[in-house]
Structure 1
Amino acid sequence: MRRLPLRQHVVTAGRALALGTMAVADTVLIALIAVSTLFMFVGVIVAFPPTVKLVRWRTKLARRLTGRWLGAEVPASYLPPPPPVRPQADGWYRHERQLYKTPWWPEWNNRAKWMITDPATWRDGFWLLVNPFVGGILALLPLAMVGYGLAMPWYWMPQVAPLGLVVAAAGLAATPWLLRFYGWWTRLLLAPTTRSLLASKVRRLDQVRQDTADSQAAELRRIERDLHDGAQARLVAIGMTLGAVEELMEKDPAAARALLAKSREASSTALTELRDLVRGIHPPVLAERGLGDAVRALALDSPLKVTVTVDLKTRPEAPVESAAYFSISELLTNAVRHSGAERVWIDISGRGKTLRVTVTDDGSGGADPSRGSGLRGIERRLAAFDGVLAFNSPPGGPTTATLDLPYALVTPESDTPRMPRWKWVIVSFGWGLGWLPLFPQGLVTMVLKLVGTPERSWFLALYLPEPLQWPLIVFNILLGLTLYSLAFALPLVHSQKHRMAQLAPGSLRLDE
């Protein structure tokens, strides 16, 4: 950890004092939780939802302060709330076997059930129950060491003033480390679980599925309209023309031949329109040659000067290729129609399992996704594959659109990355030596100190001067707890990160 200036140490000490004060004040919330839980067990759950809301407000504050002060962002971990209650055909609202005239009671019951069955509710309660002890020790202990060190000359003798300054400086220097450990502990308990991430992902996939179904219905209507107004109309006209030819074959052969020539031209035009329609549904070059050659074919047909760069080691799946192809086609069309550009650069590359496409033009810029349906259509198309569209178009240009499709490329990487060696060393060290400072040099020494026994044996703290005995005892206890906590939590956090990386879109690597 880098050295911090004195001002930063003072700011850190102030934050530690605030966190420690809030941790001690959490005892009031613990009492409210105990009362509401007791009422719930006797059948009165009216007080439970308000208490849960209050606890969630407290944990939300803890997440925000942990992210702002300690640099450990902690997102919420709650399951999605229940949907609003809808009335039946007769206007009544049903909850299980009960009918209600208004939606108030069904929604209250659904929200109460949602809070009770959400594991994050009980994790919040456990964090709040332990926080006065852990938060109080980690946040207030270094400040207590500072106060103890500064007060040593008055409580003992003036000659120990240098020693007191050393103790105060040690407490001030240990504050950032203990706060970082407090942030890690808060994140461990309050971060999203695999279940909550999976529930959020299922909810998002439901929305994406609905958007995809709407887009497919609109696409089918467009194909139906193109067939009705284009090829179908021409085929009907050809049939009518051939009927007229049959009538003119004997009366006016010259007119019949002219109509046959028009029919041949109409059939050629209808064939061309059908080929364009098929190409708009799924281009044959995309199925046969892949995304790179299909985009190069687009570039050849474009009136702009288009440069295509492709760096793909593996070919994406056909649905992903189709989504990327039509997104690029839409961006090229926008560049031709609206930007006034002369050149377009298209870069297609693979980064791990992510397919990334960057389309840049030298047009006038100023494009706004909120004003047009084309870019919204691209976003909906990419959302079906957890893809995102990043769009940057300042006035005056250039316009850059970046398409990211995670998990689009199949790579031979292992699905279960091993824990780094340095973490295994910490785990082994924690389990192997954590008992030494915690028990004989910590808890046992503390008991002997409280009892006042003259026995010193090999308890090192009892051989020190009186002012240093308690600080060393507390330090040994904290050291042992820290070693055991790291040994237990490192494998757990590593596996949890891997599970969350599989559920969270775009998280392609683990921060080791």
Structure 2
Amino acid sequence: MVETLRYCLGTLGTGIIAAVMLPVMIFTAALSLLGVGLLALPHELRWLARAADFERRRAGARLGRTVPGHERLGGQVRELLADPATVRDLRWLPVNLLAGLVLGTIGTGFILIPLLAVPTVALWWLFPDDDPMRVIANIPVTNWGSAIGLGLVQLLLCVVLAVFVAPRIADLSARISALLLAPSTREKLTERVETLEETRAGAVDAHGAELRRIERDLHDGTQARLVSIAMRLGLAEQQLARDPQAVATLLAEAREGAEEAMTELRGVLRSMYPPILADRGLEGALAAVAANCPLPVELDVPTLGKLPAPVEAAAYFVVNEALTNVVKHSGATGAQVTVTRIGDTLSVIVLDNGRGGVSEERGTGVAGMRRRIAALDGQFMVDSPVGGPTVVAMDCPCGS
């Protein structure tokens, strides 16, 4: 009941805000036709966005679901008006002027009226004898006995109304707000298509960059060593009859070059899909990464069950890249890796106690990790205030 009262009071408050903002915004919009109101309009639209996002959070919490709002607030009128959420804010404002005031007042009244039920009846003696107080079903109250009896009945009825009607009024208010402020199915589909286009473009770019990296590693490393081996073997073949000692030296160098080429080739293959994932699974692979890290790493990885290979590889690379950044750039003394699976979502969190200040623009691999997770329809987040700590987190769908 306390939560319902709080929600109804909040609804009444947003109704009052709408009653103040709507005429102000209409006046500003009229002035904008003359060019004068264009300076104030962006500020008012941002105030409206904050009020609408507050209502979205309230309605979402009441209904047990998320009501998407503004991802960011633009600085110019054109940017604000181009945001579909702003259009929904403007649609919600006049409706909430009426619904907020009416539903908020009624809901609050139903909850508070039991507090007045008995005290009101107790004032029966103030009424004249020829026009007594009348309560339920127009029954007159003429003495203390009828006042107490009718007061208790009135209190019971008011409590019933408060318990059963007020929450439904609050739910109705929340549903109206969610209907007006949440994106429609068509808008969700449009946003989904735009997101998929961006993530797929990022995946194509990431794939192309990965292919170029592999080609560069093979060309500059393995291929160059194989050419060196072929040259040494050619020289050895030419000097086989004349200088057997030189041949032995060339063969030894060729053998060392072959071993180095094999090591580099294994490194290239490991960067494509680490064999340890196929051999030991994500749990074992992350344990190996933590063990090889120069810093102490606290690893919390429960049994995750069978995961799709792309998701395993993405989680492995995110942890590996994040710990590499911790070692190189953070100045941390330790890190913590937590992996959980809830339903069909795999979550990975890498936390360090370093200096923070991670930026995607500095080439720390954050952009690459983001593209890799976005290609799998996952979410990637970096929270790294200056002074630390730094949190790198990913949520990735891993259902069939």
Aligned-residue offset at 1:280? 1.2
Q: Tell me the equivalent position of 1:221.
A: 212
- Return the alpha-carbon distance in structure 2 between the equivalents of residues 259 and 325 of structure 1: 41
- Kindly report which structure 2 residues correspond to 1:264-275, keeping only aligned pairs within 5 A, or say none: 264-275=255-266
Q: Tell me the equivalent position of 1:231.
A: 222
Q: Tell me the equivalent position of 2:177.
A: 186
Q: 1:162 to 1:189 in 2, by over 3 A?
A: farther
Q: 1:131-165 CA deviation, whole Å, 9 max, x = no partner? A: 8986675467789999xx9xxxxxxxx8489879x
**Given the alignment of the two structures, is residue 369 of structure 1 paired with residue 356 of structure 2, yes or no?**
no
* Bigger RCO (CA 8 Å, 6+ sep): 2
**Conserved in 1, the CA contact under 8 Å of 2:56 and 2:178?**
no
Q: 1:137 to 1:70 in 2, by over 3 A?
A: farther
- Return the alpha-carbon distance in structure 1 between the equivalents of residues 105 and 21 of structure 2: 11
Q: 1:10 to 1:3 in 2, by over 3 A?
A: closer
**Conserved in 1, the CA contact under 8 Å of 2:381 and 2:392?**
yes
Q: 1:182 to 1:325 in 2, by over 3 A?
A: same
Q: 1:462-485 CA deviation, whole Å, 9 max, x = no partner? A: xxxxxxxxxxxxxxxxxxxxxxxx
- Kindly report which structure 2 residues correspond to 1:108-119, keeping only aligned pairs within 5 A, or say none: none
- Kindly report which structure 2 residues correspond to 1:78-477, keeping only aligned pairs within 5 A, or say none: 138=103, 159=127, 178=169, 181-362=172-353, 364-370=354-360, 371-394=362-385, 397-405=388-396, 407-409=397-399
Q: 1:191 to 1:260 in 2, by over 3 A?
A: same
Q: Tell me the equivalent position of 1:2.
A: 2
Q: 1:338 to 1:222 in 2, by over 3 A?
A: same
> Which amino acid in structure 2 is aligned with residue 367 of structure 1?
G
Aligned-residue offset at 1:223? 0.8
Q: Tell me the equivalent position of 2:58.
A: 71
Q: 1:226-284 CA deviation, whole Å, 9 max, x = no partner? A: 11111100111111111111211112121112111111111111111111111111111
Q: 1:18 to 1:139 in 2, by over 3 A?
A: farther
- Return the alpha-carbon distance in structure 1 between the equivalents of residues 298 and 101 of structure 2: 62
- Return the alpha-carbon distance in structure 1 between the equivalents of residues 349 and 284 of structure 2: 16
Q: Tell me the equivalent position of 1:108.
A: none
Q: 1:247 to 1:345 in 2, by over 3 A?
A: same
- Return the alpha-carbon distance in structure 1 between the equivalents of residues 4 and 101 of structure 2: 23
**Conserved in 2, the CA contact under 8 Å of 1:339 and 1:365?**
yes
> Which amino acid in structure 1 is aligned with residue 249 of structure 2?
A
Aligned-residue offset at 1:347? 2.2
- Return the alpha-carbon distance in structure 2 between the equivalents of residues 10 and 355 of structure 1: 39
Q: 1:121 to 1:249 in 2, by over 3 A?
A: same
> Which amino acid in structure 1 is aligned with residue 2 of structure 2?
R
Q: 1:189 to 1:163 in 2, by over 3 A?
A: farther
For 1:290, what is the secondary structure of its paired residue?
Answer: helix
Aligned-residue offset at 1:201? 1.3
For 1:181, what is the secondary structure of its paired residue?
Answer: helix
Aligned pairs, number: 331
Q: 1:163 to 1:379 in 2, by over 3 A?
A: farther
**Conserved in 2, the CA contact under 8 Å of 1:387 and 1:404?**
yes
For 2:231, what is the secondary structure of its paired residue?
Answer: helix
- Return the alpha-carbon distance in structure 2 between the equivalents of residues 190 and 396 of structure 1: 38
**Conserved in 2, the CA contact under 8 Å of 1:211 and 1:380?**
yes
Identity within the alignment, %: 39
- Return the alpha-carbon distance in structure 2 between the equivalents of residues 320 and 356 of structure 1: 11
For 2:392, what is the secondary structure of its paired residue?
Answer: strand
TM-score, normalised to structure 1, is 0.52
> Which amino acid in structure 2 is aligned with residue 195 of structure 1?
R
Unaligned ranges ≥5, structure 1: 29-53, 78-113, 150-157, 411-512
Aligned-residue offset at 1:209? 0.8
> Which amino acid in structure 2 is aligned with residue 265 of structure 1?
E
> Which amino acid in structure 2 is aligned with residue 237 of structure 1?
S
Unaligned ranges ≥5, structure 2: 27-40, 61-66, 71-81, 117-125, 136-150
Q: 1:331 to 1:162 in 2, by over 3 A?
A: farther
**Conserved in 2, the CA contact under 8 Å of 1:241 and 1:259?**
yes
- Return the alpha-carbon distance in structure 1 between the equivalents of residues 301 and 108 of structure 2: 59
- RMSD, aligned CA: 5.0
Aligned-residue offset at 1:377? 1.4
Q: 1:174-221 CA deviation, whole Å, 9 max, x = no partner? A: 999756633422322442223321221111011011111111111111
**Conserved in 1, the CA contact under 8 Å of 2:15 and 2:98?**
no
**Conserved in 1, the CA contact under 8 Å of 2:12 and 2:105?**
no
Q: 1:26-54 CA deviation, whole Å, 9 max, x = no partner? A: xx9xxxxxxxxxxxxxxxxxxxxxxxxx9
**Conserved in 2, the CA contact under 8 Å of 1:231 and 1:274?**
yes
Q: 1:221 to 1:144 in 2, by over 3 A?
A: closer
